[in-house]
């Protein structure tokens, strides 16, 4: 199977700059600057069908095409490496193992968009990844792949690494831009969308680490090659799946996008731990509704996962066995989101702590019969929050009510966890 992101990576350390060069690194940038126009690069990405790997799956080339070509002043590219979604650690693995790939991907993207200054916004705790990135940027600078007049093409680019002050909301692209500008990280009203009015009021593209790391391979090998990497004819490329929980071998893997859920768990993670049987999983990070055994054959790609009632999200798969209390698991997730609400809008600021309170009383055996309806109402009402944090937080609550309503009811009628937890 062809891979892009983890190709030739040593398992226990970062690829060195020399190893990256020896493996053809920066040749795609060199060739693109010598023989392609910015539009050619953008068209290759549009044709490749690449969809953003940060959670929403928005088509990458289409997002780039929203950047106005004729506005005066600078335009910016931001790489979103905030990665605070529980259960998600793919960007960290990628950055720690091959930061050069991201640097080349950002250089190609900046060339396509006419960007001369780009930023990498990185999670506070990712010190190793930030160190590796800064070193990769230094090497690229010294070799003439960053800085002014790159490879004699007239194209210039500076890359800055910005360590976040550390809140989940900073991953939301408009809150991220506020954080970069040094103001409080609340989300902004959309529209205007960042592609038109973003960082310091200028056109800005925000893309995820994994999204940008795919660009060199798309430009080097072409859209048809990239599309053919998927497990299904509708899909495009590979996907990083970072698996955790009750599997034998929790691991971050690059696999064809669209691979069935069961194959990820059984074939690539060694199945469940001894004594464990599969009860449920979060398929795409903490803000996605659960899957159960009935979803074992679902193709792990954006549309099939959505059709099956969840979201591919980040590809962070958290696996639960038969001993997991779904009320306790959901409460644990909601606690995180309630704590991380930025407080900007009322539904999220007030609603999430209230949902947490209801789940706490059910879990403690003091739930009331009406609690299930109250939770359902909140799944609906929190869709009207200002940004996607609160609707995402209600993903696991919605999944719990749809797939495990009997278990929730048993907590309420029995006054305790039916699993004895
Ligand atoms: C609360 C919240 C947190 C988010 N955190 C991240 C994150 O850590 N990394 C990320 O790439 N996208 C995150 N996103 C999505 C971004 O807003 C944005 O859609 C994404 O960075 C776009 O990149 P892509 O098109 O390459 O997927 C978050 C969204 C929300 C609402």
Q: Are residues 132 and 148 in the same domain?
A: yes
Q: Are residues 208 and 234 in the same domain?
A: no
Q: What is the pLDDT of residue 69?
A: 86
| Domain assignment of residue 4, yes or no | no
Domain boundary residue, one of 287, 321, 355: 321
pLDDT band at 420 (very low <50, low <70, confident <90, very high): confident
Q: Are residues 258 and 204 in the same domain?
A: no
Q: Are residues 265 and 177 in the same domain?
A: no
Distance 55 CA to ligand 1 centre (A): 6
Cβ of 55 below 6 Å from ligand 1: yes
What proportion of the chain, given as a percentage, has pLDDT over 90? 96
Q: Of all atoms in ligand 1, which is nearest to the CA of residue 63?
A: 25
Q: Long-range contact list for 169-172, CB < 8 A, 24+ apart? A: 169/340, 169/341, 169/342, 169/387, 169/389, 170/82, 170/84, 170/121, 171/54, 171/80, 171/82, 171/83, 171/84, 171/85, 172/387, 172/388, 172/389
Is 305 buried (19+), middle (13-18) or exposed (0-12) by CB count in 10 A?
buried
Distance 362 CA to ligand 1 centre (A): 32
Token output for 400 = 């719990």
Is the pLDDT at 174 greater than 80, yes or no?
yes
| Domain assignment of residue 421, yes or no | no
Distance 89 CA to ligand 1 centre (A): 14
Domain boundary residue, one of 292, 321, 350: 321
| Domain assignment of residue 129, yes or no | yes
Q: Of all atoms in ligand 1, which is nearest to the CA of residue 389?
A: 1
pLDDT band at 9 (very low <50, low <70, confident <90, very high): confident
Q: Are residues 276 and 211 in the same domain?
A: no
Is the pLDDT at 159 greater than 80, yes or no?
yes
Q: What is the pLDDT of residue 271?
A: 98
Distance 172 CA to ligand 1 centre (A): 5
Domain boundary residue, one of 289, 306, 321: 321
| Domain assignment of residue 419, yes or no | no
What proportion of the chain, given as a percentage, has pLDDT over 70? 100
Residue nearest (by alpha carbon) to ligand 1 atom 20: 54
Is the pLDDT at 303 greater than 80, yes or no?
yes
Element (H, E) at 419: none
| Domain assignment of residue 55, yes or no | yes
Q: Are residues 87 and 71 in the same domain?
A: yes
Cβ of 205 below 6 Å from ligand 1: no
CATH code for the domain of 262: 3.10.20.600
Q: Are residues 201 and 303 in the same domain?
A: no
Q: What is the pLDDT of residue 115?
A: 98
Q: Of all atoms in ligand 1, which is nearest to the CA of residue 211?
A: 26
Q: Is 149 helix (H, G, I), strand (E, B) or coil?
A: coil
Cβ of 151 below 6 Å from ligand 1: no
Q: Are residues 56 and 135 in the same domain?
A: yes
Are 62 and 81 in contact, with CB atoms under 8 Å apart? no
Q: Is 182 helix (H, G, I), strand (E, B) or coil?
A: coil
| Domain assignment of residue 304, yes or no | yes
- DSSP result, 260-329: BHHHIIIIIS-SBPTT--EEEEESSSTTS--B-GGGTT-B-SHHHHHHTTS--TT-EEEEEETT--HHHH
| Domain assignment of residue 98, yes or no | yes
Q: What is the pLDDT of residue 8?
A: 80
Token output for 129 = 């990844």
- What's the mean pLDDT when you consider all of the chain? 97
Domain containing 280 equals 230-321
Q: Are residues 137 and 266 in the same domain?
A: no
Is the pLDDT at 1 greater than 80, yes or no?
no
Q: What is the mean pLDDT of residues 375-399?
A: 97
Neighbours of 128 (CB within 10 A): 12
Write out pLDDT tens, residues 98-136.
Answer: 999 999 999 999 999 999 999 999 999 999 999 999 999
pLDDT band at 410 (very low <50, low <70, confident <90, very high): very high
Write out pLDDT tens, residues 342-373.
Answer: 999 999 999 999 999 999 999 999 999 999 99
Q: Of all atoms in ligand 1, which is nearest to the CA of residue 209?
A: 11
Q: What is the pLDDT of residue 2?
A: 82
Q: Are residues 136 and 245 in the same domain?
A: no
DSSP type of residue 349 = H
Residue nearest (by alpha carbon) to ligand 1 atom 23: 207
Are 218 and 210 in contact, with CB atoms under 8 Å apart? no
Q: What is the pLDDT of residue 162?
A: 97
CATH code for the domain of 400: 1.20.1440.230
Distance 373 CA to ligand 1 centre (A): 31
Write out pLDDT tens, residues 50-104.
Answer: 999 999 999 999 999 999 988 889 999 999 999 999 999 999 999 999 999 999 9
Q: Is 333 helix (H, G, I), strand (E, B) or coil?
A: helix
Q: What is the pLDDT of residue 127?
A: 94
What are phi and psi for residue 158, nearest 5 degrees?
Answer: -115, 140
Neighbours of 164 (CB within 10 A): 22
As for how many domains the chain has, the answer is 3
Cβ of 56 below 6 Å from ligand 1: yes
Write out pLDDT tens, residues 249-259.
Answer: 999 999 999 99
Distance 161 CA to ligand 1 centre (A): 17
Residue nearest (by alpha carbon) to ligand 1 atom 28: 172
Cβ of 389 below 6 Å from ligand 1: yes
Q: Are residues 283 and 138 in the same domain?
A: no
Terminal C-alpha separation, the chain: 43
Q: What is the mean pLDDT of residues 367-390?
A: 97
Q: Are residues 36 and 87 in the same domain?
A: yes
Q: What is the mean pLDDT of residues 130-153?
A: 97
CATH code for the domain of 48: 3.40.50.11540
| Domain assignment of residue 259, yes or no | yes
Distance 168 CA to ligand 1 centre (A): 10
Write out pLDDT tens, residues 257-288.
Answer: 999 999 999 999 999 999 999 999 999 999 99
């Amino acid at each position: 199977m062809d891979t892009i992101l983890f190709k030739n990576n040593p398992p226990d350390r970062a690829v060195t700059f020399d190893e990256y060069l020896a493996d053809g690194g920066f040749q795609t940038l060199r060739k693109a600057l010598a023989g392609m126009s910015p539009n050619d690069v953008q068209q290759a990405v549009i044709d490749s069908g690449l969809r953003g790997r940060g959670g929403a799956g928005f088509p990458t080339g289409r997002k780039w095409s929203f950047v106005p070509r004729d506005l005066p002043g600078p335009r910016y590219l931001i790489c979103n490496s905030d990665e605070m979604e529980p259960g998600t650690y793919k960007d960290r693995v990628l950055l720690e193992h091959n930061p050069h790939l991201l640097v080349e991907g950002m250089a190609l993207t900046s060339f396509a968009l006419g960007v001369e200054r780009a930023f990498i916004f990185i999670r506070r705790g990712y010190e190793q990844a930030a160190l590796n990135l800064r070193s990769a940027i230094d090497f690229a600078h010294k070799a003439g792949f960053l800085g002014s007049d790159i490879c004699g093409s007239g194209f210039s680019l500076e890359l800055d690494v910005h360590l976040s002050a550390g809140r989940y909301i900073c991953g939301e692209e408009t809150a991220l831009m506020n954080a970069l500008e040094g103001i409080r990280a609340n989300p902004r009203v959309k529209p205007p969308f960042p592609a038109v009015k973003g960082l310091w009021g200028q056109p800005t593209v925000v893309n995820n680490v994994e999204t940008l790391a795919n660009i060199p391979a798309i430009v080097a090998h072409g859209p048809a090659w990239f599309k053919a990497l998927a497990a299904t004819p509708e899909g495009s490329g590979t996907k990083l799946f970072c698996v955790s929980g009750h599997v034998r071998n929790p691991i971050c893997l690059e696999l064809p996008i669209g691979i069935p859920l069961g194959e990820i768990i059984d074939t690539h993670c060694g199945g469940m731990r001894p004594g464990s049987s599969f009860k449920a999983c979060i398929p795409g990070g903490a803000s996605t509704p659960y899957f159960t055994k009935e979803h074992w054959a679902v193709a792990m790609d954006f549309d099939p996962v959505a059709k099956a009632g969840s979201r591919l999200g980040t590809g962070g798969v958290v696996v639960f066995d038969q001993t997991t209390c779904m009320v306790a698991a959901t409460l644990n997730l909601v606690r995180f989101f309630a704590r991380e609400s930025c407080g900007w809008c009322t539904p999220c600021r007030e609603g999430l702590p209230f949902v947490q309170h209801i789940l706490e009383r059910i879990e403690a055996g003091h739930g009331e019969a009406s609690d299930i309806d109250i939770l359902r109402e909140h799944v609906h009402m929190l869709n009207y929050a200002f940004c996607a944090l609160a609707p995402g937080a209600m993903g696991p609550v919605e999944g719990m009510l749809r797939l495990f309503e009997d278990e929730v009811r048993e907590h309420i009628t029995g006054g305790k966890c039916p699993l004895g937890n």
